[in-house]
Amino acid sequence: MILKHLNLINFKNILEGSIELDQGVNCFSGLNGEGKTNILDSIRYLSMCKSYFNSADYQNINHDHEAFMIKGEVMKNEELDVLSCSVSRSSKKVFKRNKKDYQKLSDHIGLYPSVMISPTDEDLIKEGSEIRRKFINGIIAQYDKSYLNHMTQYKRALNQRNRLLKHFQTERIFDSASLEIYDFKLIELNSIIFQIREKFVEDFIPWFQKLHIEISGNKESVSIQYNSSCGENLELQFKDSEQKDRISARTNVGIHKDDLEFSIDGHTIKKFGSQGQQKTFLIALKLAQSFFIEQATGNKPFLLLDDIFDKLDSNRVTNLMKLVSEGNFGQIFITDTDKNRVSSLFKGLDV
């Protein structure tokens, strides 16, 4: 899977751009604010139908214009696919593959997988559990269409149950029988999603630990633990939580409370990992994502590396560049402010 050509119009600070791309490693260097990261994010758009950084599509339109367009030509299975995405301030997003609109954007997810590594990934360690659940969902959704459907159903049922709880609170009433209608659906979906997540984490950890050893030089021991209450008696949990749900007007049990616990040498990495150790952890996490998706789909994802050298010592940078240059990954896109640094890192490597 090779992105051969990329066209951008009014995407963030890039008014117009046309780029021919190499099938191996593509490096973009320049000063801060010149649009390097935006090029990577446009590739992310073609892969996942959305920005890695801005949740609202309109936020990616250049301030002085009414719409943006991204177009890419991807060679896959010896066929050339033309992908395009256009977003206007006054109409909905339009996404096309070979000039045909998608009925559902979810049908596109996973066809052209990608993995982004960015400085913003530190939120995976430093912020709340929602970020880590999104990380899990983003990986599984790229190879399991049924999971995406289950998550959509779950969110809908959860929102309906929460609205009912808020209605009870506002009206100062409570009807346990009405609540049980949503409990039944949520319990069913909780069980399905939990099993998929549990299997994913179990299969993912060996990839992650292997890559961490290669980047760090085996200097630390790292682990991931999946924390969820959904493997136990869910029906009893919902019943026991009913009074708490009634008071708080929200559902306090379910997979929307799941979390991942990241550890280094037996301690939480958030509190005890240095900046370099946290950065190494995150890079290994994302590279493992690439391997995992390839194993599940047969496609090597686009690997988008945004400003990844900061906070890493020279040994870890060398190990990382050696790893990504040995043909282990798909097409690679790297940004850096220092052109000479990128050139010197790849000098002598077979890329």
Give me 118's structure tokens: 């960015």
Low-confidence ranges of the chain (pLDDT < 50): 351
Q: Are 151 and 254 in contact (CB under 8 A)?
A: no
Question: How many Å apart are CA 183 and CA 185, to the nearest integer?
Answer: 6
State which fold the 121-297 domain adopts: Glutathione S-transferase Yfyf (Class Pi); Chain A, domain 2 (1.20.1050)
Calculate the dihedral angle through the C-alpha atoms of 126, 130, 132, 133, rounding to the nearest 10 degrees.
170
Question: How many Å apart are CA 117 and CA 101, to the nearest integer?
Answer: 29
120 in helix, strand or coil? Answer: helix
**Residue among 109, 242, 129 at smallest CA distance from 186:** 242
- What is the architecture, at CATH level 2, of domain 1-113+299-351? 3-Layer(aba) Sandwich (3.40)
Question: CA of 191: how far to CAs of 141, 151, 202, 231, 234, in Å?
Answer: 17, 12, 17, 7, 8
Q: Give pLDDT, residue 286.
A: 93
Question: How many Å apart are CA 195 and CA 147, to the nearest integer?
Answer: 11
233 Cβ partners below 8 Å, 6+ apart? none
Q: In what order do the strands lie in the sheet with 114-117?
A: 25-29, 332-336, 302-306, 114-117
Give me 143's structure tokens: 């190879």
Q: Give pLDDT, residue 321.
A: 86
**Residue among 95, 201, 187, 205 at smallest CA distance from 140:** 201
Q: Give pLDDT, residue 351.
A: 47
Cα angle at 348 between 213 and 350, to 5 degrees?
70
Count of helix runs (H) and strand runs (E) in the chain: 11, 13
Q: Kindly report the backbone phi and psi dihedral angles of residue 347, in degrees, each rounded to the nearest multiple of 5, phi listed first.
A: -60, 125
Q: Which pTM was predicted?
A: 0.89
* Domain positions in the chain: 1-113+299-351, 121-297
